[in-house]
Amino acid sequence: MRVRCLQIIHPAADVPVAEFDGIRVGGVYPVLEMVTYDIDCQIRVLGPGTPDPGLLWDPADFETVDTRIPPGWTLVISGDRTRLADARWQRPGFWTDYAHGDPQALVDYEHVKRELLVAAPPEN
């Protein structure tokens, strides 16, 4: 799945900008996951200069240019959270483990990221 950035609202200044952390207006980027909490929805997007593990964005700031869901993705609904992502990222505590440097979480992140970038590289 790939999306084109339509607008960027700077998170600290709440003003439109042309680029932020490797994502620029008009660029096309792979979606790493989609997460909803209650009624809030975000997509994790990775650009060439974006720090790992990518940034969470409001999907209203993007348009879909490739609708194919990557192989291995699963949909998990748990309480008020719904995630569409690679099955390796769906285990409870994955992102907490990643943030704490857990070796298996880091390996799983790198494998999935590499697969997604090969299948749908960013276009700037």
The distance between the two most distant Cα atoms of the chain, rounded to a whole number of Å, is: 38
Token pair, residue 38, equals: 């209650």
The contacts of residue 72 (CB under 8 Å, 6+ apart) are: 86, 87, 88, 112, 115
The 10s digit of each residue's pLDDT in 38-61 is 889 999 998 888 889 988 999 999
Give the pLDDT band of residue 12 (cuts 50, 70, 90): confident
Token pair, residue 40, equals: 């809030």
The 10s digit of each residue's pLDDT in 61-75 is 999 999 999 989 999
pLDDT value of residue 54: 87
The contacts of residue 15 (CB under 8 Å, 6+ apart) are: 9
Q: Domain-by-domain residue ranges, the chain?
A: 2-119
The 10s digit of each residue's pLDDT in 94-124 is 999 999 999 999 999 999 999 988 887 788 7
CA 56 from chain centre, in angstroms, equals 6
pLDDT value of residue 110: 95
> For the whole model, what pTM was predicted?
0.89
Count of C-beta atoms within a 10 Å radius of residue 38? 9
